[in-house]
Structures are given as C-alpha cells and as structure tokens.
C-alpha cells in the first residue's frame, strides 16, 4: 500500500468528513451569525473588518480576552482539520485559503448584525486553520528547527 494511503493524509475524497465539515460549518454559522444570547454594546468600528481604521486602531489589538482569541483559534483549527480530511488531495495552501474565505465571509456578514466584525477574529481564525491543516497533514517542525529555537538561534 502506498505511503500516502497508509497515512490517510492524501487519499480520496471523504463524503463522511465532507458531511461532518458541512455540519460543523452550519454550527459555526449559527454560533457566529445569530443574535448573541447576551446583551452587549458592540465595540465595532463602523465598517468592521472592511474599514482601514479597524486594522490600525490600537483598541482593536488591546481589547478582547485571551480566552476569546484562543476560542477562535480552536474553532478554526477544527475547521482546518475537517477540511483537510474531507479534501485530502487539496494542497495545504488551498485548504487555508478556503478557511480564510470562510472567516472573511463571516466577518463581513457580521457588519450589519448585532455582532462584532473584528480583525483579531480574522487573525485568530486563520491561525487556527493553519494549525488544523498542519495537524491533518501530519506536519510538525523539524527536529533541527526545534533545536535551533532551544539554542536561541534565528
């Protein structure tokens, strides 16, 4: 059996993972686009992620909790993983691009809603997608790179 098939990372299209991915996307959509169950005053710059000011305003990068950021990373790590399993022949770059399009679509859709369209979410979600795709592909840092980091080499 070829190595790629044994590892499961480069096999055929998986309808089971495709269905799981679709179900997960519906859950993410419900969670990110529905009215929040709590009352909040949005701290959003008009235009959300489409406004240059949202990217350059210091408040964008200093407000929000570490928990929220980590939750966004995890949310999209799962998506990256599921996409990688559903589309095993797709390149990591293509899987990450799909994930970025999903998060960008969510952030743009949130602009007119009582949600917050935030550049931090785009960054966290993209980081999560990268992690999920790399896990799917079984990629890790080479031992030499880890040793260089331990020594403080750049």
Cα–Cα distance measured from residue 104 to residue 98, given in angstroms and rounded to the nearest whole number: 10
Cα–Cα distance measured from residue 9 to residue 63, given in angstroms and rounded to the nearest whole number: 38
Mean per-residue pLDDT, 86-92: 93
Q: How far apart are the first and last CA of the chain?
A: 40
What is the phi/psi pair of residue 11, to 5°? Answer: -80, -150
Q: With 0.95 as the threshold, say if the pTM is over it.
A: no
Nearest Cα neighbor of 95 from 110, 112, 75, 79 is 79
pLDDT digits (tens, 9 = 90+) for 8-43: 445 788 889 999 999 999 999 998 888 776 655 555
- Determine what percent of the chain is predicted with pLDDT higher than 90: 43
**What SS3 state is found at 54?**
helix
């Amino acid at each position: 059996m070829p190595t790629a098939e044994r590892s499961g990372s480069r096999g055929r299209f998986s309808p089971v993972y495709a269905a799981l991915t679709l179900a997960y996307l519906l859950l993410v959509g419900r969670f990110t686009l529905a009215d929040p169950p709590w009352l909040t005053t949005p701290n959003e710059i008009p235009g959300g992620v489409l406004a240059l000011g949202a990217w350059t305003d210091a408040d964008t990068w200093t407000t929000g909790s570490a928990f929220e950021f980590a939750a966004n990373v995890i949310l999209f790590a799962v998506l990256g993983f599921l996409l990688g399993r559903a589309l095993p022949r797709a390149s990591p770059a293509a899987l990450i691009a799909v994930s970025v399009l999903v998060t960008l679509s969510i952030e743009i859709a949130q602009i007119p809603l009582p949600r917050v369209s935030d550049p931090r979410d785009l960054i966290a979600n993209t980081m999560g997608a990268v992690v999920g795709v790399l896990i799917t592909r079984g990629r890790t840092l080479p031992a030499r790179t880890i040793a260089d980091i331990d020594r403080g080499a750049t």
